[in-house]
Structure 1
Amino acid sequence: MDEEEQGDTGDPEFIKRQEQKRSELDEQLREYIAEWRLVRKKEQDELKKLKEKQAKRKVARADEERATAERKKAEEERRVKEIEEKKLKDAQDKKQRLIDAEKKRQTMMAALKEQHQNKTLNFVIKKKVLAASLSDAELERTKTKEQLEEEKKIALSIRIKPLALDGVPMDKLKEKATELWDVIVKLETEKYDLEERMKRQEYDLKELKERQRQQLRHRALKKGLDPEALTGPHPPKIQLASKYERRVDIRSFDERQRLFQGGFDTLYLEQLEKVWRDRVQQFMQRPRKKLPRWRGERPGKRPGDPDTPEGEEDVKGEDVEGEDVGPKEEKPKEEIEDEDLEEEEVEVDEEEDADDDDEDEEEEEEE
């Protein structure tokens, strides 16, 4: 390898080719650098032009803003001057009207004195004097439609001055149209801003009124009043708990509502419920077996009749309670009458118990 490298380095053609390649690369690099410098110079020139244009635009905008501010200031001064002149003129007109009214009043007073001296009660007031005594609002109402139209035309002719466009060049017309267009855009912008502001204020007022209404409702409920008592145009009447002691009623709405609930109806229902429970309890405690055996003298017994043996009653009871019993024997007539008497006595006892219960109930109700 070392010998080959030495041979290559010692070859003049190789050295010549290497130098030629270097020269070509140097030439390409010089061309690239020159082209880059040209592009860079163009960019710098364009940037410089843009900066100069921006500076000119800033100056023009500042001049335009200054001119606009001066024009607004002049318009404001002119408007203030016109308002002051109008106020001064109105004051002078008012003063003149007062002087004229005073003169007419003096004339009328002199005429009245003269009529009083002549002792004449009838006098005539001219229409001109009557018209002079009317106020401005009454005079405005008495104007006809033609008079109002004429006043409107006069006011519009004063406020909107006609444009003198005869013999004006095209450039001036374009400037005037541009100025009028700017004025229209400005007025429309202000109109839109004011409308949006009015909408926002209306919404805020509505929200504040609703919030105030809710607060008044809570305050009325706390004081024991009707919820809508404080939301009306007038304050609520003072409610007294006693018109004799003149005490203010501080009870809540629910407490005062409960005064009309219950009373005698509630007591009557409670009494009926109590009677019902007692009757049900008595019914549940009734005897469910046959009647107890008679231990004393048999009812309906006649003197000289033999006593009924105890075995016969048991046998009779078993025959009555049993289901599969043979043919019944016919009872004697005396035994049938005795049984009828016992059943009548049992029914009488039950009716007496029912009467006693009714009397107890009436006594409880009276208590």
Structure 2
Amino acid sequence: MKNRRNKKMLFPSTAVLLILTLMAALLTCTPGKAESAAQQWTINHDISFTVVKDSTVLQTGGQCVSFTGSLRAACLEQTSSTIFVLLYRDDGLYVDFYRQGSKELVCGTFPMPFSAENVSLEAGVDPTGKILYICCRMGQGSGEVYRIQETGGEAFCIAETSSANVIWNSQAAVQQANTASASSQESIPESKSESQPNSMVSSEESSAPESQVQPESRQESSTASVSSAASTPQQINRIYRCSGPLTVAELQQMVLELHPQQIAGQETVQVFTSKGVERKTGSLTTGDVLQDRREGKVETVQLVIPGDLCGGGRPNQASYSLLRSCVAGGAPLSGLTAYAADMTQPSGDIAADSQPELTAADLLLLKRAADIA
């Protein structure tokens, strides 16, 4: 009799558990039914997001697409109908994108060097409409421009030194009234982004006065401050390949030691990002510019960090994956990215018209430098 009673009690509890599981699955793909515990974002009448803790659900054209991570910013690049999503995961910000036409989801492979707060995202294409770009910026600053490289279903963001030819043509996501519960609000801070649809982004066209530009955040260990127009590098004299990863302080010390005859205080050595923002501490990245003032002359040198293809300051998994794709016959690398990938060359000046030949030897050296098993 006792065993029979246990069997009768087991069936109702199992049925209740199954019903609850089905209800949870339905709510995941129907954000409208979970508004009491979610944040809502919209780009237009056809594109909306629902954020519940560490998951973001995109609804577009009757489709339901799920992203891992909480939404920080998003936009629609109108020419290619590509939706870019800036997501916060456990170890930082990632850029994923979704192609509406092919219904293809591509996930970012490495964290972006930005804070998770007060960041906006805009997108554009080159004049041919084939190469995609994004711009991440903090507050009203001019931000950083990245070219999107896709390989094997993964997205890479390659820092660009120039965005003059980019056609910025995006609609930004706008956060709606916050309907999240108290527990959700703690895990998803309210975004303060004020980007508007179809706004144009470039250092020349930014309407924010210089005094309002927010500091760049390239890495947790580095800080940058806005410099005056008089001290911002205007013309690159040469391109120099460093011997390996360096900090700002190490580079300044090296340069000063090359000119021991200089009277203290008569020579100044500064480092700027490619956007003209002074980098005072932290690691150097490929594309940074050294400005050396001495004897009434100014020399500006653009720096290349071997193995730093993605702006991280040193060889890493993202740079290795990008070079591996190139060597395997994928999209070719060019400019400073190609110079950084040319691991077989010694440190020293780089001819501006040189064309690195990237091979498996470069890939092996980068893999070793990044300590990848």
What range is the shorter-chain TM-score in? under 0.3
Where relative contact order (Cα < 8 A, 6+ residues apart) is larger, the structure is 2
User: As a proportion of its length, which structure holds more helix?
Assistant: 1
User: As a proportion of its length, which structure holds more strand?
Assistant: 2
Q: Larger radius of gyration, structure 1 or 2? A: 1
TM-score (norm 1): 0.16
